[in-house]
Amino acid sequence: MGRRPAAIDLEALEKLAAMLCTHEEAAGYFDIARETFTRKLRQKRYRDVWERGQQKGRISIRRKQFQKNTDAMLIWLGKQYLGQRDRPDGDENSRSAAEEYLRRQKGDPL
């Protein structure tokens, strides 16, 4: 007689994935070996739940970043999503994205 199959609650699995836990951490939560956990994720139903949870975790981080609204975060988001750079190519006289943002916040004229 073989071992009983590892019990993995799908709701708990999605929550752990949403917290962006590692496979090792999730395996520890379910009290199974990391290899067993990884093998379970090869099954479509577990993999789909894990991936959905990870997507929710990334969305949560992104939401917090946008809500944070600090100068550094806004500059970083501008670089990531708007293609802004500290030093634009080919124009030595242009201001950096950070300088431009701060200048506008102060209400300085061009």
Q: Would you say residue 98 lies in a domain?
A: yes
Global model pTM greater than 0.75? no
pLDDT at 110: 59
Q: Would you say residue 58 lies in a domain?
A: yes
Q: How many domains is the chain partitioned into structurally? A: 2
Domain range for 24? 8-68
CA distance 17 to 30: 13
pLDDT at 40: 96
pLDDT at 45: 97
Which residues does 84 contact at the CB level (< 8 Å), separation at least 6?
75, 78, 97
CA distance 49 to 45: 6
Pair (104, 64) in one structural domain: no
Question: How many Cα atoms are found within 13 Å in the side-chain-facing hemisphere of 12?
Answer: 10
Pair (21, 58) in one structural domain: yes
> What is the chain's pLDDT, residue by residue, as a tens digit (110 residues)?
667 777 899 999 999 999 999 999 999 999 999 999 999 999 999 999 999 999 999 888 888 878 877 888 878 877 887 788 876 565 555 566 777 777 777 776 65
pLDDT at 55: 93
Question: How many Cα atoms are found within 13 Å in the side-chain-facing hemisphere of 52?
Answer: 12
CB environment 63-93: b (16+ within 10 A), e (fewer): eeeeeeeeeeebbebbeeeeebeeeeeeeee
Q: Would you say residue 3 lies in a domain?
A: no
Rg (CA), the chain: 22
Pair (83, 42) in one structural domain: no
Pair (48, 63) in one structural domain: yes
